[in-house]
Amino acid sequence: MNTKIAYTLSMLLVTAGASAHAGRPLAIDDADPVDRGQFEFEAGGVYEHDSDCKHWDFPFGLTYGAFRGAEIGIGFGGQFEERTERFAERGEEECVREHSLCDLVVGAKWQFLESCPLGARHAIAPSVKFPTADDEKELGSGKTDYDVTWIASRSIGEKAGVHLNVGYSWIGGSDDDILHYGMAVDYQVLETVQWVGEVFAEQETSSGADTVVQYNTGFRWNPAENLTLDIAGGSKISGDAPDFTATVGMTWAFGLGSNEMKGAN
């Protein structure tokens, strides 16, 4: 699996806003920041599998609504990987197991436009990834990376929403920066159950590598007013990406702000 693509995907998963519409369990984010004075804590597990590698991430994050229309957040976690490595000089294969902290990610989101002529909300989300993962074990880039993403969200009736992301990642110490983009859709199936789905792509800008395209789909369930549980699974459509991905997690909202979960209505 392309390690630079994996690092960028991990950064997106850790920093994706945890809300009632986009964000967990997807990589695509929504344009709605956390309400002022409100905290959102999210945690979960992510599993990725391809032909010779199994990878587990255990991310958690905390986001705070710093003021109206803007949030700040931090993401961290741990990871474990089991992969097959081939040693040409010995003509042998060996199963290697490694574990490490994840990279530390600090980010923000600013909704600079609440409604454009097309009825969409627009936001900018910058983030910085610090190299706290062990790059010697091939579980991190070992460099500080930067990302900025434009986000647009639009409601469709009372039950559905569409979210678009376009972003650019500057990979520290490398000429192969990454352009990433995608779309997510959500639909309120029941009062407390929401279906979500996404398609997203990533492209190294200078290497000429094939574009990586993936999809995810799943559900969110609100068993309580401020608690959201989620589950999703997906796979690659094209490019060097995991054959299968799955995630499960939760989002808990609390604090001084409104107790209502953010929505598109």
DSSP string, 190-232: SSSEEEEEEEEEEEESSS-PPPEEEEEEEEEEEEETTEEEEEE
22 closest CA partner among 93, 81, 96, 109 = 109
7-38, pLDDT tens digit by residue? Answer: 455 555 544 443 334 588 999 999 999 999 99
85-134, pLDDT tens digit by residue? Answer: 877 666 677 888 999 999 999 999 999 999 999 999 999 999 999 999 99
Superfamily of domain 3-255 in the CATH hierarchy = monomeric porin ompg (2.40.160.40)
Neighbouring C-beta atoms of residue 119, cutoff 10 Å: 10
Start-to-end CA span in the chain (Å): 39
Q: What mean pLDDT value characterizes the chain? A: 86
Confidence class for position 260, pLDDT limits 50, 70, 90: very low
Bond into 25 cis (ω within 30): yes
Amino acid at 259: N
